[in-house]
Structure 1
Amino acid sequence: MDAIELLKHDHRMVEQLFRDYHAAASPTQRRGVIELTIRELSKHAALEEMMVYPLARKALPDGTLRADEHLGEDMAVKQLLLALDKLPAGDPRESDLMARLRREAEAHVRAQETELMPALREHVAQQDLDELGRLLDQAKQGAPTRPHPHAPDHPPALTVAAPLAAAYDRLRDRLQGRPST
């Protein structure tokens, strides 16, 4: 998959997780879906910040503006993910936070798929999109699995912080028995 196809695949997976949350038969199942949602959206946001937005900055005529807009959307999502991550299982605020997260994620997906991705498709060679897709797929294995809204979101500081955050996240995930994907 090229980078755009891979990102769209991630979007569809997150949309399915929101449906799974509403279909869950128990609080335990809902919490499991929340854990997966936190993990997948955290990885997705980190990869966009490390690899996609820097490309947009360079390749698009208004790339800096577009990347900054999407970083703002990512921040709103990361704040909600952090709030969900801190909630104990069965907390009454869970449903409201998931609804807010869904709205933010849907707006982010809509903006990316109608504006950013078509612009990247137009201004970036297919070979480069293919290579970025390969790199994104590889990087998923080592991306942070928890939200880090206070971490740097621009290279080069992001390039240093993200692997450290990922290692810490994966250790926490194992110690807490969180699901892995």
Structure 2
Amino acid sequence: MDALEVLKHDHRMVEQVFRDYDSAASDRQRRGVVELLVRELSQHAALEEMLVYPLARKVLPDGEQEIDEHLDEHMAVKKTLLALDKLDEGDRRTDDLVASLRRDVEEHIREEEGVLMPRLREAVPQQDLDELGELIGKAKQSAPTRPHPNAPTAPPALTLAAPLAAAYDRLRDRLQQRPTT
């Protein structure tokens, strides 16, 4: 899959995880779904920030402004993910935070798939999108699995911080017996 198809696949997976939250039968199941949301959205955001957004900044005429807006959306999502990550199973605030997260993510997906991705498809040769898709697939194995709203959001600082954050996240995931994907 090319990079844009990989990102769309991630979007469909997250939409399914939100539906899984709605159909969860217990606090334990809902907590498991929240942990999957935290993992998937944290990885997705980190990969976009490291690999896709720098490309968009470079190739789109108004890339700086457009990507800054996407980064602002990412920051809101990361803050909500961090709040969700800190909650205990059964916390009454979970439903409201998941609802807020869903609204933010749905809007972000609409903007990316409706505006950013078509513009990137026009501006970037298919071979480059294919290579970037492969790179995203490989990088997902070592991307952070938790939100880091205070971390840098652009290379080169992000490129240096992300592997350290990912290693720390994976250790925490293992110690807390978090689900892996």
TM-score (ref. length: structure 2): 0.99
What are structure 1's unaligned runs of at least 5 residues? none
Deviations 1:125-168 (A, max 9, x none): 00000000000000000000000000000110000000000000
**Aligned letter for 1:118?**
P
Distance in 1, Cα, partners of 2:52 & 2:14: 18
Give the alignment of 1:51-66 within 5 angstroms.
51-66=51-66
Q: CA deviation at 1:109?
A: 0.2
Q: CA deviation at 1:38?
A: 0.3
Deviations 1:71-119 (A, max 9, x none): 0110010000000000111100000000000000000000000110000
Q: Which residue of 2 aligns with 1:78?
A: 78
Residue identity opposite 1:115 in structure 2: V
SS at match of 1:179: coil
Q: Which amino acid aligns with 1:141?
A: Q
1:133 is matched with which residue? 133
Task: State the Cα RMSD in Å.
Answer: 0.4
Using the TM superposition, give the Cα deviation of residue 57 of structure 1 relative to its aligned residue in structure 2, in angstroms.
0.5
Rounded to whole Å, the distance in 2 between the matches of 1:63 and 1:128 is 18
The 2-side partners of 1:142 and 1:66 are apart by 27
| Residue 10 of structure 1, CA deviation | 0.2
1:101-116 map, 5 Å: 101-116=101-116
> Which residue does the alignment assign to 1:176?
176
SS at match of 1:56: helix
2:145 equivalent in structure 1:
145
Residues in 2 aligned to 1:154 and 1:133: alpha-carbon distance in whole angstroms:
19
1:42 & 1:13 partners in 2: Cα distance? 13
Identity of aligned residues (%): 72
The one-letter amino acid paired with 2:138 is: Q
Aligned to 2:27: 27
Q: Output the TM-score relative to the length of structure 1.
A: 0.99
What residue is the counterpart of 2:2 in the other structure? 2
Aligned counterparts, 1:40-55, within 5 A: 40-55=40-55
Instruction: Report which stretch shifted further, 139-148 or 62-71.
Output: 62-71
Number of residue pairs aligned between Structure 1 and Structure 2: 181
Long gaps (5+) in structure 2: none
The alpha-carbon deviation at position 120 of structure 1 amounts to 0.2
Distance (Å, rounded) in 2 between the aligned partners of 1:67 and 1:53: 6
Q: Distance in 2 between matches of 1:118 and 1:158?
A: 26
Whole-angstrom distance in 1 between the partners of 2:99 and 2:57: 31
Structure 1 counterpart SS, 2:28: helix
In the TM superposition, what whole-angstrom CA distance separates every residue of 1:17-73 from its partner, at most 9, and x where no partner exists? 000000011111110000001000000000000001000011111111111110011
Runs of 4+ in 1 over 6 A off after TM superposition: none
SS at structure 2 position matched to 1:13 = helix
SS in 1 for 2:142: coil
